[in-house]
Amino acid sequence: MVEKNTEEKIIVAAEKVFIEKGLAGARMQEIADEAGINKSLLHYYYRSKEKLFTMVFKIAFKTFAPDLIKAFEGDDDFFVKIERFVFAYLSIIDKNPHIPVFIISELGNNPKRLVDIIGYLDLNVQPVYDAIEEEIKKKMIKEIEPSDLIINVIALCVFPVVAKPIIKNIVFKGSEEEYKKMLDRRKVEAARFVISAIKNTD
């Protein structure tokens, strides 16, 4: 248990330092201080800053990456599945608003990292593609490329968080309260917007 707690402390501390300073600016001594351990113990668990960053990044991406397959499993109505995904995904982002910004920032510095992480997570969105194509065949939704639909849904969820400085200060005149109210509304409104756009009314 002690070992697990120590590792958890290191990950939490490293995430905080990496978010604030990025990979290049972070120092192992800072992470050790933040975790409340000595530097030699930190090196015992993670021999280099790069290895520690990779672990933190994997954990962050796994939290951030949409669990599309799980959201679209089962016999529920397709539109219910979209609502379920949007609500769950925005709830995760609401609790971890730093993660999308952290990941997008670091991917800009090292795009190859995304390829490595996708391999680590073994993400397979084919079942989601199949579910979308099945709804098209049944004429429940309009003709749309599955990839376009997935990207549209994710963008509607992520953009308001990544663009917070612009949205908060321009749209809501600096009001944090109004910005948070908007995020809560989007748990319903984003799904409603997508469903309205793809629902076949013929």
- Extents of the domains making up the chain: 2-56, 65-198
Q: What is the pLDDT of residue 68?
A: 67
Q: What is the pLDDT of residue 148?
A: 95
- Show pLDDT as tens, one digit a residue, over the chain (202 residues): 445 589 999 999 998 898 888 888 899 999 999 999 999 999 999 999 988 988 888 887 777 776 667 788 888 899 999 999 999 888 888 888 888 878 787 777 777 776 776 676 677 788 889 999 999 999 999 999 999 999 999 999 989 988 999 999 999 999 999 999 999 999 999 999 999 999 998 7
Tell me the two tokens of residue 175. Answer: 């009001």
CATH class label, 2-56: mainly alpha
Q: What is the pLDDT of residue 71?
A: 80
Other Cβ atoms less than 10 A from the Cβ of 88: the count is 15
CA angle 33, 106, 26 (to 5 degrees): 20
Q: What is the pLDDT of residue 118?
A: 66
pTM as predicted:
0.78
3-state secondary structure 49-107: HHHHHHHHHHHHHHHHCCCHHHHCCCCCCHHHHHHHHHHHHHHHHHHCCHHHHHHHHHH
Nearest to 135 by CA among 90, 80, 191: 80
CB of 18 closer than 8 Å to CB of 56: yes
Of the CA atoms within 13 Å of residue 31, those in its CB half-sphere come to: 34
CATH topology of domain 65-198: Tetracycline Repressor; domain 2 (1.10.357)
> How far is residue 109 from each of residues 26, 104, 114, measured CA to CA in Å?
15, 9, 11
Cα distance between residue 147 and residue 196, in whole Å: 18
CB of 37 closer than 8 Å to CB of 30: no
Cα distance between residue 64 and residue 156, in whole Å: 14
Using N-to-C axis directions, what is the helix angle for 2-25 and 49-64, rounded to 10°? 100
